[in-house]
A and B are shown apart, each in its own frame.
Chain A
Amino acid sequence: METQATHRPLDAPGTTPSAVELHGVTRVYGARTATVRALDNVNIGFPTGSWTAVMGPSGSGKSTLLHCAAGLERVTDGRVLVAGQDITDATDAELTKLRRRVLGFVFQSFNLIGSLTAEQNVAMPLRLAGQRPPRKVVREVLASVGLADRARHRPAELSGGQQQRVAIARAMVTRPAVLFADEPTGALDTKSARTVLRMLRGMVETSGQTIVMVTHDPAAAAAADQVVFLGDGRVVDRLERPTTRAVADRLARWEE
């Protein structure tokens, strides 16, 4: 088993300025007559150390983009590079290793394992990588999401916001090069959503975490460094240093 899962793979400076790169990525669903082109020749890079939000109307290919970038789904055409590594044709074993140390995931539905405590959920990725994580490390990560006192609770005993914070702690415990978040605030009330967004912002500021986040919510997108707009499987617009109002305006324009 690997022993260096906690080390973040370092990109050779200059060669890959982006943590994740998509080159001419196309993803087609269905077969023969009923095909849907979810992604259509997408070229995009997600810069290292910054937070990118991906927006667009329903069916614009946001989630497919995230899944392809994270190696959860195969692309029909084009290439995907994650942390300098070409994962387009990676085997399942390679992708598994990648999920253990390079990629972290947070989803709208928190996807915690119901039978395990918060602490055990957070420790799971390290255990799966064959490590025996010191309790201290796990507690630290839980403390960093403000849940030091909830370590022994099971998901059912936590609020939605707390569950999502456990999910973030689980994603961060391996110190991944890229954190993928799919509607992380989608199932939360405004207050919990704000807490989660502040936490993500903090990770980008203090440790240069790369985040790729899909969202519907202009307020969530405004917390990112830049916003990419998708429409019909293509990148249709970008926005640097977004504000809630600017994002909402762009969205309104694209959804007309």
Chain B
Amino acid sequence: MLRMSWSTFRDRWQVFVGAIISVCLGVALVQSSLLTLVSAATAKVPPGLPPEQERAIRDGYVGAISLLGMTLGLAVFVAIFVVSSTFAFTVAQRRRDLALLRMTGAARGQIRTLLVGEALLLGVLGSAFGALLGLPVMRLQGAMLDRFGFVPAGFTGQWREWILGVSAGVGIGVAVLGVLAASRRAGKVRPLEALRDVGGAGRVMTASRWVFGVIFLAGSIAMLSVVAAVGGEAALPLSICASFTLVTAFAAFAPLIVPLVALPFGLVFRGRLGVLAHANLRTGVRRSASTAAPIMVLVAFVVGMAGTTGTITEAGRQEISRDLRADLVLTTDRPVRDQVAALPGVEAVSEEGQVSFDIGEDDGEDGLEFEGTTGLAIDPAGYTATHRMVATAGNLADLRGATVAISPSESGGWRIGDMMPVHMDGGPQQLRVVALLPETVSGPYILLPADLMRAGPRQYVIQAADPTAVATGLAGLGQVMTTTQWVDAYTDDQQQMSTNIMIALLGMAMVYTLIAMVNAVVIAASDRRAEFAAARVTGLTRGQVVGAALAESMGVVAIGVLLGILAAAGTLAGMAAAVRDMIGVSVASVPWALGSAVVAVAVVVVATASVLTTLSATRTPAIRLVAAKE
């Protein structure tokens, strides 16, 4: 059987090279993310640093770990998705071969053994290449994290011996898992199918597709309603999770959705070529679905995530604009409160300084677990004069001495009067909760009394009778901005941060899905030489065949984009509901520019791949291909 696998391998190399590439990239991506994650998790903070700096590095690693955790999850999802869809496609491509084996006496189990054997072979090869490729990918990922400042300077991913085992396990496991479902179906191929050219037009919508599709769709709906209900910190990971499940559900339902979505293309595709392209789009359901799948993933994730972070940023901007009752914001590197207050024309000033500290939470058995956070130290009178801030419980005026005010958006469960255990350099061991802040997306999450303020950078929020005059007076103290300028700068900052996070999270996966698109196009074309040849002997020129294939592939891109947008829209709707629930602001930011860019890239990649493969598949004179039966 293994020799049989090898011969098939030699013969259908485009298909199998495609499968190997998908495994290889998946393994590289997962291995790199895992190694970087493990390195960040085990990184030691160099000894002998001042406490403030040590804390900053430690917090940097904590942030990097959660980012890398999400990257790893994404990498695993995309790898499983792409590999299983590629493998299912390769099995579908060979339906007739398999029926033929059944005719010559192969039992169902033997067909499955054959396919799983192949998957093992491909998994081993893919994992080996992937483990090698993982090294430069890890360096690239490390450089990217470093550049965006997501890791403390000097951080690099470390190689671990055991990763080889994990990578092999991932590669082989994903390949075999990907082929298991397909091989089950392939085992049911009837020998008679060898005689009838059913192609991909056979029943594609199977019972298991229904089951999976319904489960994942129900799961997505459940998750999105939970997003709207819980809101807060959990909303982002939950809505990203929902885009995973929505994409999976759409992929399962693809055989139903693709012809449905293809229907309107009949209006666009006119003329002889258009009719041919449209017919191919609808009858080659499996082919169309396989190419559309990575496009859908790409669009869903990019648009969904950019939309989600964009929505949060925009909501934050509106929240800040709504809550700020001031004219100027002054940023300095040292305390200058008295100078500011002494300036003529200053009606109210709020001095604000950031304080990093750890909050201890009871984790049940071994006492307290401390987690790093940042609070804003303020003086209550000045703060309430310049911000529209009403505590939902308790009183901000009580913020004196060892006390704290906290928003439920930070971490739940605190009540007025609770003693909050903290680690604060040179500060108290406990803070008494004196007020609860409303939910927020832009902060502040934690307010501390002015007594806990440190030396160092400050921010002054100022009400002035004549802002221009006051601004001139402040110019010597630090950087002065009008409130509008300051909000814009804050928003730009947030947006830049979100974009960086997204590139760090999705960058590699995006490249992966692009390659998966090319893969699907090449695999699909490998099976169509005879079909193209038949079209040419029917009277089409080579250019027309290429044109029809191009039109068809553009239809497939459109389908993928539509489904991706649909999945992203679900995510976005959930997020918008959560934001409205939290702060009463109705926003949904649609990333038009980024979305269009992604679509443009997908169009160019698929169009180029389609034209090149069709040209290559029509290089042999048609008549020779039509004449040769096998």
Residues of A within 8 A of B (CB): 67, 72-73, 92-93, 96, 99-100, 105, 107, 109-116, 120, 124-125, 127-129, 155-156, 160, 163, 170, 174, 182, 187
Contacts and interface: CB of A to CB of B under 8 A. Distances in A.
B105 A125 contact: yes
6 contacts: A96-B107, A99-B104, A105-B103, A120-B3, A128-B105, A163-B629
Contacts of B195: 107, 109, 111, 182
A163 B105 contact: no
Contact of B194 (A111, A124, A155): A111
A111 B100 contact: yes
Interface string B1-45: 101100110111000000000000000000000000000000000
B192 interface: yes
Contacts of A112: 630
Given A155-B630, A163-B630, A115 B104 contact: no
A99 B628 contact: no
A92 B108 contact: yes
Contacts of B194: 107, 111
B106 interface: yes
Contacts, number: 75
Contact of B105 (A96, A111, A182): A96
Nearest to B630: A155
Given A96-B106, A96-B107, A99-B104, 14 more contacts: A72-B190, A93-B107, A93-B108, A109-B629, A109-B630, A110-B629, A111-B100, A111-B194, A115-B8, A115-B11, A115-B12, A125-B104, A125-B105, A128-B104
A92 B191 CA distance: 10
A157 to B, nearest CB: 10
B628 A156 contact: yes
B191 A124 contact: no
A114 B110 contact: no
Contacts of B10: 115
A246 B69 CA distance: 81
Nearest to A187: B629
Nearest to B104: A125
Contacts of A129: 105
B97 interface: yes
Interface string B607-630: 000000000000000000000111
B101 A124 contact: yes
B13 to A, nearest CB: 10
A128 B103 contact: no
Q: Which of A72, A100, A110, A163 has the most CB of B within 10 A?
A: A72
Contacts of B105: 96, 99-100, 125, 128-129, 174
Contacts of B108: 92-93, 96
Interface residues of B, number: 27
A124 B11 contact: no
A93 B103 CA distance: 13
Closest 6 CB pairs of A and B: A115-B11, A100-B105, A155-B630, A115-B7, A99-B105, A96-B107
B7 A99 contact: no
B628 to A, nearest CB: 6
Given A111-B100, A114-B11, A128-B101, A156 B630 contact: yes
A113 B103 contact: no
B106 A128 contact: yes
Contact of B192 (A73, A92, A96, A116): A73
A105 B1 CA distance: 22
Nearest to B103: A105
Nearest to B11: A115
Contacts of A174: 105
Contact of A124 (B12, B104, B107, B629): B104
A67 B103 contact: no
Q: Which of A115, A125, A187 has the most CB of B within 10 A?
A: A115
A170 B106 contact: no
Nearest to B193: A72
B101 A67 contact: no
B106 A72 contact: no
B110 A128 contact: yes
A167 to B, nearest CB: 10
Nearest to B3: A120
Interface in B262-310: none
B96 to A, nearest CB: 9
Contacts of A125: 104-105
Interface string B515-527: 0000000000000
A187 B629 CA distance: 10
Contacts of A92: 107-108
Interface in B66-121: 97, 100-108, 110
Contacts of A163: 629-630
Contacts of B100: 111, 113
Contacts of B3: 120
Given A72-B192, A182-B195, A170 B104 contact: yes
Contacts of A170: 104
A228 B11 CA distance: 42
A169 to B, nearest CB: 12
A124 B630 CA distance: 17
A100 B100 CA distance: 13
A124 B191 CA distance: 15
Contact of A111 (B103, B110, B190): B103
Interface in B390-434: none
Nearest to B110: A128
Contacts of A115: 7-8, 10-12
Contacts of A156: 628, 630
A116 B191 contact: no
Contact of B629 (A100, A127, A160): A160
A147 to B, nearest CB: 15
